[in-house]
Structure 1
Amino acid sequence: MTAALTVFFVALIVLGSLPVAAGVYQFLLIPLHAFRNHYRAAAPYLPRVAVVVPAWNEGAVVGASIDRLMLLEYPSDCLRIYVVDDASTDNTAEVVLDRAARYPGKVFHLRRAKGGEGKAHTLNFGIREILQQDWMQALLIMDADVIYRPNSLRRMTAHLADPAVGAVTAYIREGSMDPNYLTRFIAFEYTAAQAASRRAQNVLGALACLAGGAQLHSRENLIAIGGAIDTSTLAEDTISTIETQLRGRKVVFEPHAEVLAEEPGSIDALWKQRLRWARGNVQVTRRYSNLWFRPWRHRQLGGFSFGLFWFTTLLLPLLMIGASVGLLGLYVVDSSLADTLFHKTWALATGSYVLQTLMTAQLDPRTGRRSWREALMFPGVISLVIMVTAFAPVLMRQTVPDLLHVRPTTTVQHIITLCVYGWLSLSMLAAWLVKRAEKANIGPALTSLLVYLVGYGPLLCAITFDAYIKEMRGAAQVWDKTEKTGRVMA
């Protein structure tokens, strides 16, 4: 019985280490992007692009976005902007109509009489109108608040010169001119999740998701995936990405096409946004259950590497809980083996953290300089201390008790060990408590201190765990729009 329990607990610890190993593997693919990319098949190509912009109460930001689109390094006669007004109750209509008067024949205001059905329905209202005309050769889906760098669109369209490419996406950067601690965390996260991870996906030849604010589709691809955006899930951009590839067309990430976006400045707003994304990923996973790890169905999407990256991200909270259970259970059954595996797994986590942090900062030095504190504190101060204990066990046995001003008795050491072994799970609970603390109006300074202490990574894992619960309960699919204030306009 003891041997069986030992094997079980060790297996949980090994599974809990998979996301760390997968992260290292993914980042080791990134240098290959210098050799394995789509640039050889790209060429100067300037198709007629229709830009569809879903907008609900976006009066504060949509005007600047339109102005910047009209300043793109792109032929003006090859660009039309369609703003789909989702029955806004603010001055969105007035702002768009003002821009339509400034740019006659370039900007169009389409208004839905009934709104509130979500982004996908709003997009489809505009796409139906655009497809009725023969003018459009490529469709750009964007958000009302994003700002495109002047050369970004032509960098994206260059990939459509290859008829094998169905869609292209850009690098979304957090672009607030007055960032707070949370938006700096998001900026670094976006660099890791896009500039880094999507380069690795380019190498694999399978992209997980077109960025919601920067999706460029060829007309042929749009028609091939049904001439509309999926409305049955909360992950319409991921569905479009997968459907494009399942129908034999490539999806390409263009890292040098930069798009600036305003991101949530509070934990509550971030939670709502990421809960929608995480629930969408759960829905996508169920929808394509016959695809995962089946390369004979689709060589890239069904391959081992893509499936590994997808599931170690989606199941990260469960794997963290499993690792905690494994360490705590093994501590009861065989404490010396538990100690050995604890130090080995956290040493691996430390190496992965150093590798990913350095490579991410190097890929976008500007964000690295702006968010260096957040890059260092991404796992949280407590996790960093635990990482150090993997190399200096005396910290847990002597230094921590000294800091707490308690005698390092056997009981105290047991309690500290149990807390450290269970931290992967406790960190998610702590992140949820930080969210509750923010709602209790403890003040931005104390809230930020708690996030630095607990970590931004555990916060994202707690949100994903909440998504599991919401999906199991069948909670309503509410499109919680992130409030935008125009902080990117400067």
Structure 2
Amino acid sequence: MTIDWLQVGVTALTTVLLAFVAVGAIPILATLYQFLAIPFHSVINHYRKATPYLPRVAVVVPAWNEGAVIGASVDRLMSLEYPSDRLRVFVVDDASTDDTPEVVRGKEQQYPGRVVHLRREKGGEGKAHTLNFGIGRVLEDDWMQALLIMDADVIYLPDSLRRMTRHLGDPQVGAVTAYIAEGSADKNYLTRFIGMEYVLAQVASRRAQNVLGALACLAGGAQLHSRDNLEAIGGRIDTSSLAEDTITTFETQLRGRRVVFEPHAVVLAEEPERIASLWKQRLRWARGNVQVTSRYRRVWFRPSRVHKLGKPSFGIFWFSIFLLPVAMILSSTGLIGLFLLQSELATVVFRAMWITAACTYVYTIVLAVQLDGRTGRRSWREAILFPGLVSIIVMVTAFFPGLLERRLPELLGIPVTPTGEAAWTLFVYAWISFSMLFAWLAKVVESTAVGRFLSPFLIYVVGYGPLLCAVTVDSYIKEWRHEAAVWDKTEKIGRVAG
């Protein structure tokens, strides 16, 4: 019997390429599974164990050159629907060089005994060091029963803190986080995209994480800890990573305490108006996630009776986001490889993957805009074009083979050639990877004379999702090069519509 080694090789290569496409499909299926869990939040939640509970809350606010926003933030804290004798605000002035000290001292006089100005003479070490300075002072006496960590620019809606503290009535809950909503008064295309992203990533995804029992991250601008939990994790915030909020979240759950997302506690935040500022912010977050992934490598996919971070479902969700650019590139490689092998499977798996992606996209967007109708109404264009116009065209190609590359040109009287059809096929197979490159191009051209018009156009065409994936690729590169991990604060100018 003669073995046809060429055929064996082709079969083996086809199997590998199919595996590549399968990897690319994992994030789609993971997203679908997660969003299918969201409706169960109506019956699987923490509200049965929540109870009216108004502990003495110390608010620690890190502030470096926040003179434009800190005054309004303090005023809004003072007007919360919360007993005045149970709320104290500690503003940690991180050696600010603007008028932050004067503004905070003014608030200290305006609200005697309720607002405290703490000054660090040595600043610039990062948010975690600043927080630890304030936390250390708060822990010096027994007054504090719960600690709220927030950012200097955010605005808490009146009932937000009260909605959060009720979950701490259950001693098994160590920390609670809120819904950070994009709250800029003068919204542009980018802040509307960010607003839609926050609905998907918080109001939707974190509801699903509540159902599954493991939360990925406490929002940095809204994390409420019980005193017991704070002391259990060491009485301080980790300073070795750019993702101190994620590490705090993990450490809380690893010690057997629950972390809860409260979707009805709304906190408004000012978000970047330009791609360059967004890139800087998200690069810090993405590099922090790289560090967290490595730090907790012994947690992933190791189920535990103490916590649920090791559940396979949570691990798949985490790595589906963390390795999404890798999955996208593997998917394109697999499809192009199958096409070059002239395998009929190329069309089959392409259609299967993109039809599933289209159905998932429609389901998640429809569900998300119902969860936050206000953002949905303001950002309906961004909701529709979140994956980008080109990706929507690719979805149409998957649903209706031959429509765009053959039938439409014929109707328009454009000659259709085998070369043209092959070029179109290669384009749609490669697009999921090329989209990240074009998203990076939108950042590059933003600073040019035509960038004001061209960058928004590119993002609508390419998609906001690919832009975030491009940032993740940048984080891979910078971590691989061991570039300095510096806390780079996003500039805020007080644009929140409070």
- TM-score normalised per structure 2: 0.96
1:448 matched residue in structure 2: 456
Residue 107 (structure 2) pairs with residue 99 (structure 1): yes
CA displacement 1:143-178 (0-9 Å, x = unmatched) = 000000100001000000111110000000000111
1:348 matched residue in structure 2: 356
CA displacement 1:330-376 (0-9 Å, x = unmatched) = 11113421011111110000000000000000100001001000000
2:14 matched residue in structure 1: 6
TM-superposed CA distance for 1:440, in Å, is: 2.2
CA displacement 1:18-70 (0-9 Å, x = unmatched) = 10000110001001111111111111111100000001111000100000000
Residue 276 (structure 2) pairs with residue 268 (structure 1): yes
Unpaired runs of 5+ in structure 2?
1-8
Query: 2:255–2:306: 8 Å Cα contact kept in structure 1?
Result: no
Amino acid at match of 2:354: W
What is the 5 A alignment of 1:9-408?
Answer: 9-296=17-304, 298-398=306-406, 407-408=415-416
CA–CA distance in 1 between the matches of 2:381 and 2:274?
18
CA–CA distance in 2 between the matches of 1:15 and 1:167?
34
TM-superposed CA distance for 1:409, in Å, is: 1.2
Q: 1:157 to 1:10 in 2, by over 3 A?
A: same
TM-superposed CA distance for 1:445, in Å, is: 2.5
Query: 1:321–1:424: 8 Å Cα contact kept in structure 2?
Result: yes
Structure 1 residue matching 2:399: 3-state secondary structure: coil
CA–CA distance in 2 between the matches of 1:323 and 1:401?
28
Structure 2 residue matching 1:132: 3-state secondary structure: coil
Identical-pair percentage = 66
CA–CA distance in 1 between the matches of 2:415 and 2:433?
27
TM-superposed CA distance for 1:412, in Å, is: 1.6
TM-superposed CA distance for 1:102, in Å, is: 0.5
Which range moved further: 231-240 or 473-482? 473-482
Query: 2:185–2:496: 8 Å Cα contact kept in structure 1?
Result: yes
CA–CA distance in 2 between the matches of 1:133 and 1:485?
35
Runs of 4+ off more than 3 Å: 296-299, 399-407
TM-superposed CA distance for 1:296, in Å, is: 3.3
CA–CA distance in 2 between the matches of 1:216 and 1:114?
27
CA–CA distance in 2 between the matches of 1:404 and 1:437?
34
Q: 1:403 to 1:229 in 2, by over 3 A?
A: farther
CA displacement 1:203-240 (0-9 Å, x = unmatched) = 01111100000000001100000000000000000000
2:5 matched residue in structure 1: none
Residue 473 (structure 2) pairs with residue 457 (structure 1): no
TM-superposed CA distance for 1:443, in Å, is: 3.5
- TM-score normalised per structure 1: 0.98
Query: 2:438–2:458: 8 Å Cα contact kept in structure 1?
Result: no
Question: Aligned-pair RMSD on alpha carbons?
Answer: 1.3
Query: 1:291–1:298: 8 Å Cα contact kept in structure 2?
Result: no
Q: 1:402 to 1:439 in 2, by over 3 A?
A: farther
- Give the paired residue count: 490
Structure 1 residue matching 2:185: 3-state secondary structure: coil
TM-superposed CA distance for 1:456, in Å, is: 0.2
CA–CA distance in 1 between the matches of 2:139 and 2:282?
31
CA–CA distance in 2 between the matches of 1:210 and 1:413?
48
Query: 1:431–1:458: 8 Å Cα contact kept in structure 2?
Result: yes
Which range moved further: 402-411 or 392-401? 402-411
What is the 5 A alignment of 1:458-473?
Answer: 458-473=466-481
Unpaired runs of 5+ in structure 1?
none
